[in-house]
Amino acid sequence: MTSETDHSHGAHGLGEAVAARVERRWATLSIVIVGVLVGLAAFFGIYHTTMPQGRVETADPTTLHLSGEFVESNLGSALEADGSVTVRAIGQQYSFTPQCLVVPAETPITIRATSADVVHGFLIEGTNINTMLVPGYVSDLPIRFKTPGEHMMPCQEFCGIGHQGMWGKVKVVDQTAFRNMAASKRRLTCVD
Ligand code: CUA
């Protein structure tokens, strides 16, 4: 809109008034949209922090090694009666235990992991597994690998001075090989 427009001349002035009205309407609408989005973000943010999650499993980080599911002898991969596999692991500054997880291909797998000290990241490259290991809580993740192979498993959450050296590995082997291994050992790992 230019200042030299003559406001006293009918058609021009009217056209400008209409344009101004439309523009104001759009401006109002965009402010309303921003307001609604901010309101929604605030509502759901507050709602989710005040409502408990559907399922929360806890594990005392100070007694992980002494009793319960995450004692050292129970870590690694376990073949369940229904043919599925449960993998249990711990993250601590600055490694994973076990450092190498071995799992069968084409098999439903549940990974259960927690932290013994601070928050660590848990990511398996080439899969959609990407979560955090929070001390006090159990992360429970379903996964299935299509083919045998190896995946890197870095800690992707800064956890201290040795963070960048915190890496693990997942080795996917074929079903028969896994079953053969499981026949002679209760908990399997690929740690040499
Ligand atoms: Cu553990 Cu970064």
DSSP-derived letter for residue 65 is: T
Tokens describing residue 165: 């050296």
Q: Are 125 and 149 in contact (CB under 8 A)?
A: no
Q: Is the CB of 155 under 6 A from ligand 1?
A: yes
The C-alpha atoms of residue 144 and residue 105 are separated, in whole angstroms, by: 7
Measured in degrees and rounded to the nearest 5, phi and psi for residue 30 equal -65, -35
**Average pLDDT, rounded, for the chain:** 91
Measured in degrees and rounded to the nearest 5, phi and psi for residue 17 equal -65, -40
Residue 6 pLDDT more than 60? Answer: no
pLDDT tens string 113-166: 999 999 999 999 999 999 999 999 999 999 999 999 999 999 999 999 999 999
Q: Are 64 and 114 in contact (CB under 8 A)?
A: yes
Predicted pLDDT at 191 = 86
- Helical segments of the chain, H only: 10-50, 175-184
Tell how far the Cα of 34 is from the centroid of ligand 1, in angstroms: 37
Predicted pLDDT at 85 = 96
Q: Are 112 and 131 in contact (CB under 8 A)?
A: no
Percent of the chain with pLDDT over 90: 79
DSSP-derived letter for residue 52 is: P
Q: Is the CB of 120 under 6 A from ligand 1?
A: yes
Tell how far the Cα of 134 is from the centroid of ligand 1, in angstroms: 11
Predicted pLDDT at 24 = 95
Q: Is the CB of 157 under 6 A from ligand 1?
A: yes
Predicted pLDDT at 92 = 96
Predicted pLDDT at 53 = 67
Q: Is the CB of 163 under 6 A from ligand 1?
A: yes
Give the Cβ contact number of residue 153 at 10 Å: 24
Tell how far the Cα of 142 is from the centroid of ligand 1, in angstroms: 22
The C-alpha atoms of residue 133 and residue 136 are separated, in whole angstroms, by: 9
Predicted pLDDT at 1 = 47
Q: Is the CB of 153 under 6 A from ligand 1?
A: no
Predicted pLDDT at 13 = 83
pLDDT tens string 24-46: 999 999 999 999 999 999 998 88
Taking CA atoms only, the protein residue closest to ligand 1 atom 1 is: 120
Tell how far the Cα of 160 is from the centroid of ligand 1, in angstroms: 7
Percent of the chain with pLDDT over 70: 94
Predicted pLDDT at 14 = 87
Q: Is the CB of 166 under 6 A from ligand 1?
A: yes
What is the chain's alpha carbon radius of gyration, rounded to the nearest angstrom? 28
Between 6-20, 87-101, 130-144, the lowest mean confidence (pLDDT) is in: 6-20
Q: Please report the atom of ligand 1 found closest to the CA of residue 164.
A: 2
Q: Please report the atom of ligand 1 found closest to the CA of residue 120.
A: 1
Tokens describing residue 137: 């809580």
Q: Is the CB of 117 under 6 A from ligand 1?
A: no
Residue 168 pLDDT more than 90? Answer: yes
Residue 111 pLDDT more than 70? Answer: yes
